[in-house]
Structure formats: structure tokens, C-alpha cells
Amino acid sequence: MTQLSIPTTALGERGQIPLIGLGTYALDGEAGATAIATALQNGYRLLDTAAQYLNEETVGKAIRQSGVPRQELVVTTKLAGADHGYDKTLAAARASLQRLGLEYIDLYLIHWPNPSVHLYAESYRAMLQLADDGLVRHVGVSNFKPAHLQRLFDETGVWPALNQVQLSPALARTELRRFHAEHSIATEAWRPLGADEGVPSNRNVTEIARKHGRTAGQIALRWAVQQGIVAIPKSGRTDRQLENAQVFDFELGDADMAALATLDLGEAAAWDADTHEEF
């Protein structure tokens, strides 16, 4: 096994989170469990799943199969839209724990704000209670915009520890990240490679990759982690998992970062959490 060394960044007041983790969407069954377990044995310590992915059992099996001590891991799962509301959130968290086979969730996120339902603040209050009860270590959100984040703070006095959002060099989310920084909210990127936005084939990216002797995917991930952004690329292939995590032994220069900044399509190109809802 290859033993990766993945640095961490701050999560909440006392926590740490690896800068590269493993997205597990669509990793299921025996093959999925083996792929996830292998990633853990190779040095991954951050896993990302969700009730909505229907693979929490697989993730739990992989954790047990890996032999990695539980206390070394940061396990993330997310509250599904159908479970918004105070009591539903309490029940959903316990159901996720049962499926994962764990005693606590390291990072519990609201998957989407679903503002038409108008219950995400109630769910957030329930998650803070779960943290008080020791069932959750860190409470966060996913796909929230500044107005959604502000409402949570206005109603509870507690900022989320982390906001997981669609983010890549093509969707830099600069203003949102500035808001995060002002309130000590960690930023985590889903779809960090920007494949849907053409990042891997962009000429600037391929030229930078050639210069550094890296892949286009490694350039996109280095762009993220160099700015303190946590990234959770998904792959069931061991070689790709290793490649994605080997981005800490080189640095992008100012000219590289300036060239990558030209890829940004702007906030309007990202999925809009005011209108996109998932249940």
C-alpha cells in the first residue's frame, strides 16, 4: 500500500479536516466498499457520503474493512431534503448512524437549503442539539448561499463549521469564499475537477500541467488546496485516488494562478440553491 500524507486545515474552533478527501457518490456494493477501503488503507482520512446517495452502509462496511482506527477518520454525511424539520432531523441522523455503523458523525451537513420548504433553520437547530448530545462532532451545510448562512447565524448565533459547494477553477465562488473567510467557515469543493465546465481540456490548464509535469486534474486540485479549500474528488480507481492526493509536493506560481483565474464563469454558472432543490 502507498501511504499518502494529506495535510489538514481548520474545521471549527478545535477541529482539523484533510485538504483532500474521497467523494463516494455512486460507490456502492462490494466493489464500492473495496475501493473506499483501499483509499483509507492508502492514507485517505476524509470520506464524504450522504443519505441521498443510498450508500452509507457501503461506507460503513469499508471503514470496518480498512482496519483504520475510527478516531483517525473524518466521516461526513448529509441530511436529505425529505428529512428537514427538527424532529425529522434528529431521527435522520440516528438512521444515518445506524446505516454507517458508527457511534458519531464527524461532520453532518444539510445537503441543500430547499428554501421553499423553509425548514433548514429548524434542521440546523436540531443538528446543534445532536452536537451537544455527542452524536455529531461538527455541524455544517452544503450548497448554502450567504443569505442562507446569515439566517442560520441570526437564528442560532452559531456559524456552520463548513459549507460544501460546487467549486473549481471554472466556478471559483470568490464572493462566497470571502464570506466564509469573514466568519471562519471552511470551504469544501464538490466536483473540484470542473469536468462539466471543461477545466481538464482548457488550454491554460493543459499548459500549466505540462509545465509542472502533472495532470490537468492535479492542477485543478492544487489550485483548490493551495487556497485552503478542501476538495473531495470521487474515484473508485486506486491509481486515480493516489493521483488526486499527490498534489502537495509542488506549487502553482502567481502566473499560473492568474491564468487559472481566467477560467471563472461567475456565480451565475453554478447551481442556484435558491431555485435548485433536492429531496
Q: pLDDT tens for residues 69-128?
A: 999 999 999 999 999 999 999 999 999 999 999 999 999 999 999 999 999 999 999 999
Q: Which residues contact 91 (CB under 8 A, 6 or more apart)?
A: 83
Could you give the domains of the chain? Answer: 14-194+227-237 (3.20.20.100)
In the set 44, 53, 108, 124, the catalytic residue is 53
The CA distance from 123 to 129, in Å, is 10
SS3 state of residue 12: coil
pTM over 0.85: yes
If one counts every other C-beta atom within 10 angstroms of the C-beta of residue 178, the result is 10
Residue 53 is among the residues annotated as catalytic for this protein: yes
Q: Is 278 left (phi over 0), alpha (psi -120 to 50) or beta?
A: beta
Spell out the long-range contacts of 265-270 with Cβ–Cβ below 8 A and sequence spacing 24 or more.
265/170, 265/171, 265/197, 267/173, 267/175, 267/176, 269/170, 269/171, 269/197, 270/165, 270/166, 270/171, 270/173
**Model confidence pLDDT, tens digit, residues 195-249:** 999 999 999 999 999 999 999 999 999 999 999 999 999 999 999 999 999 999 9
Separation in Å, CA 119 to CA 84, 114, 152, 160, 262: 6, 8, 11, 16, 38
